[in-house]
Amino acid sequence: MNKYDVVIIGAGGAGMMAALTLSRAGKSCIVLEKGQHPSTSNAARAGGPSLAGTRLEEEAGAPVSALQLYSRLFRFARGTVDSGLLLACVKSGRKAETILRECGVQMHLTEDLYGTGFRARHFLDTPAPERWDLLCAKLEAYGGKLQLNACAEKLVTEGGKVCGVEVQDQADHSRLIYRAEHVIVASGGYLGNKEMLKEHFADVTVGVLGNRQSDGGGIRMVLEAGGMKERNWGICAGEFGGFHSRMKSRFPGNMRWAMTGGLLVNREGRRFMDEQVLADEPLSVGGELTLRAGTFFAVLDEDFYQGIRQAKSVYEYYGRPSQWTTGASAHDRGPWPFPENLEKDMEEGWAGRFESLKEAAQAFALPGLEETVERYNRMCGEGLDTEFYKSNWLLKPVEKAPFYVFAYEPSAWCTIGGVRTDAFCRALDSKQCPIPGLYVAGVDNGSCYCTPYYDVEGTCLGLAFTSGIVAAEHILHG
Ligand SMILES: Cc1cc2nc3c(=O)[nH]c(=O)nc-3n(C[C@H](O)[C@H](O)[C@H](O)COP(=O)(O)OP(=O)(O)OC[C@H]3O[C@@H](n4cnc5c(N)ncnc54)[C@H](O)[C@@H]3O)c2cc1C
């Protein structure tokens, strides 16, 4: 009796929204989840989605229209996503909110941290795992099913139509086929797949902050069934700070130096960016620049190190420049929310304290460091960054020993990039024709996420939720 109207692969943001939409409308559906728990997914643990047109926004007296959010995202994507899909997703914000409310998930609107000019991010107050338990309970109440330990491995096709999924049970390794009229793939990207990360980002270590069960299996299955790849491949970068694979604890305080707007250098010891971009847009453009740099280093002197630690906030340290809007919103809080432990970080091999820059350059093999710092200090003295033109309030010389170096690598909450679809989330073949019966939603869908990742916080989850709804509604109404 493994026959359903719809089989959904992945009980994450997109999968659960699709399942709730379908089962509420009376369709028989099953969600196949590889993990042992309903709340395995990134969505179950995420902060919250950006949504437009919600009741919460109206109630807060801060409405965000679909047009406002769509225009911002589409302009940012510069034509690299499917506009119809993006618009359909953004217009489904209220539906996603309604489902969350019906399930009993509590939310509040967050502040506009990164200067978008509106407050679209809905923070999910109900913590994991309760929040996902609520969604699963509602799914069951609607007659939908969730199958845990069910790793989808292959799409079943007949006469060019996708009509089922072959699954391996993770507990007893038995194999089963679930048949369906429609299959929605929503397996959450490829953060757990080292080969895929290498294929798209070369020999760069990407710190995995999300679920490793998302190993690109969904994308692979769709490509094997005749789907085509989209061209956008990237990450939703970790914005809490720099990451390093040698870090033993997840969020040590010294990871924050990456985001302070101070001097950053690449593996040759040369500057490679306007450091303010990482301070202002860590999830998006700044994160992309770190992905391109691979390993990078924050270099600071004793004045900077002590100054920032003693100031109430990074923004305070720089003298609260009124033009620095993101400084006021994102950097005017206690600088180190995580305990700092320099000695331990030095032992782990990603942090160092040195009496001279020469010593620092030798220890981290940064041949250009001394010359870079000399040039940087000259620009600080002149009050003008003639290399990358960062704001002059960020120009602080690196001259007083001891000197500190922190090595970082890019990190990601989830990946971006996957299958090309049309505006209804239907997977397209290489002739741009929909593959009958096959839909792709969430971050497996390459056509609604651009790279660099959008500069609106919460878009990852927002589009995951809403693309699940778009796919489900196409199945329901055509
Ligand atoms: C800690 C954390 C915080 C985050 N905070 C935010 C935030 O505040 N705002 C925001 O926009 N984004 C945030 N993100 C990112 C966001 O969670 C993701 O973009 C979003 O969850 C993507 O939804 P999805 O449905 O595509 O995938 P997911 O929610 O990751 O779900 C995919 C599911 O598919 C399952 N799966 C994988 N392969 C298979 C298979 N072969 N068979 C069966 N099941 C499979 C996985 O186990 C997983 O449960 C955060 C991520 C993390 C990790």
Could you report the per-residue pLDDT of 306-345, keeping only the tens digit for each? 999 899 899 999 999 999 999 999 999 877 767 789 999 9
CB-based pocket (< 6 A), ligand 1 = 9-15, 32-35, 40-43, 45-49, 150-152, 186-188, 209-211, 213-214, 217-218, 236, 413-414, 442-443, 458-462, 464
Nearest CA to ligand 1 atom 11: 458
Which atom of ligand 1 has the smallest separation from the CA of 458?
Answer: 11
Which of ligand 1's atoms lies nearest the C-alpha of 40? 49
| CATH classification at residue 319 | 3.90.700.10
Asked whether residue 285 falls in the same domain as residue 375, the answer is yes
Do 336 and 248 fall into the same domain? yes
Closest Cα to atom 4 of ligand 1: 46
Report if residue 239 sits inside a domain. Answer: no
Ligand 1 centre to CA of 208 (Å) is: 12
Atom 7 in ligand 1: residue holding the nearest Cα: 47
Give 444-467 pLDDT, tens digit per residue: 999 999 999 999 999 999 999 999
Is residue 341 located within the same domain as residue 446? no
Check whether residue 204 and residue 278 sit in a common domain: no
pLDDT band at 477 (very low <50, low <70, confident <90, very high): very high
Q: Report pLDDT for 1.
A: 58
Is 316 in the same domain as 381? yes
The predicted pLDDT at position 460 comes to 98
Indicate which atom in ligand 1 lies nearest the CA of residue 468: 25
Give nearest CA residue, ligand 1 atom 5: 46
- One domain for residues 249 and 161: no
Query: Is residue 145 situated within a structural domain?
Result: yes
Question: How many whole angstroms from 413 Cα to the centroid of ligand 1?
Answer: 8
Nearest CA, atom 49, ligand 1: 41
User: Could you tell me if 29 and 157 lie in one domain?
Assistant: yes
Same domain, 19 and 151: yes
Is residue 250 pLDDT above 90, yes or no?
no
* Closest-lying ligand 1 atom to the alpha carbon of residue 211: 53
* Single residue among 409, 442, 465 that ends a domain in this structure: 409
Q: Does residue 179 share a domain with residue 118?
A: yes
Q: Whose CA is nearest to atom 31 of ligand 1?
A: 12
* pLDDT tens per residue across span 77-105: 999 999 999 999 999 999 999 999 999 99
- Ligand 1 atom nearest to CA at 44: 29
* pLDDT of the residue at 279: 96
Question: Looking at the domain assignment, is residue 259 inside a domain?
Answer: yes
Q: What is the pLDDT at residue 79?
A: 95
Which of 17, 459, 460 is the best mutation target for the ligand 1 pocket, counting ligand atoms within 8 Å of the beta carbon and taking the most?
Answer: 460
Mean pLDDT of the chain: 96
The CATH number given to whatever domain includes residue 212 is 3.50.50.60
**267 and 151 in one domain?**
no
Global pTM reads: 0.98
Q: Does residue 320 lie within any of the structural domains? A: yes
Is residue 9 predicted with pLDDT exceeding 90?
yes
Asked if residue 127 belongs to a domain, the reply is: yes
Which of ligand 1's atoms lies nearest the C-alpha of 187? Answer: 34
How far is ligand 1, taken at its centre, from the CA of residue 4, in Å?
Answer: 24
Percent of the chain surpassing pLDDT 90? 96
What range defines the domain where residue 16 resides?
A: 3-234+416-477
Pick the last residue of a domain from 381, 409, 437: 409
Q: How wide is the angle at C-alpha 395 spanned by C-alphas 390 and 397, nearest 5°?
A: 145
- Residue 381 reports pLDDT greater than 80: yes
To test the ligand 1 pocket, which listed residue (146, 153, 414) has its Cβ within 8 A of the most ligand atoms? 414
Residues 335 and 456 in one domain: no
* Percentage of residues in the chain having pLDDT higher than 70: 100
CA of residue 9 to ligand 1 center, whole Å: 12
Q: Is 110 part of a structural domain of the chain?
A: yes
Look at residue 437 and tell me if it is in a domain.
yes
How does pLDDT run across 261-289, given as a tens digit for each residue? 999 999 999 999 999 999 999 999 999 99
Q: pLDDT value at position 336?
A: 73
Answer yes or no: is pLDDT of 419 > 80.
yes
Q: Out of 370, 385, 409, pick the residue that ends a domain.
A: 409
Number of domains composing the chain: 2
- 35 & 98 share domain: yes
Quote the pLDDT of residue 334.
Answer: 77
Has residue 142 been placed in a domain?
yes
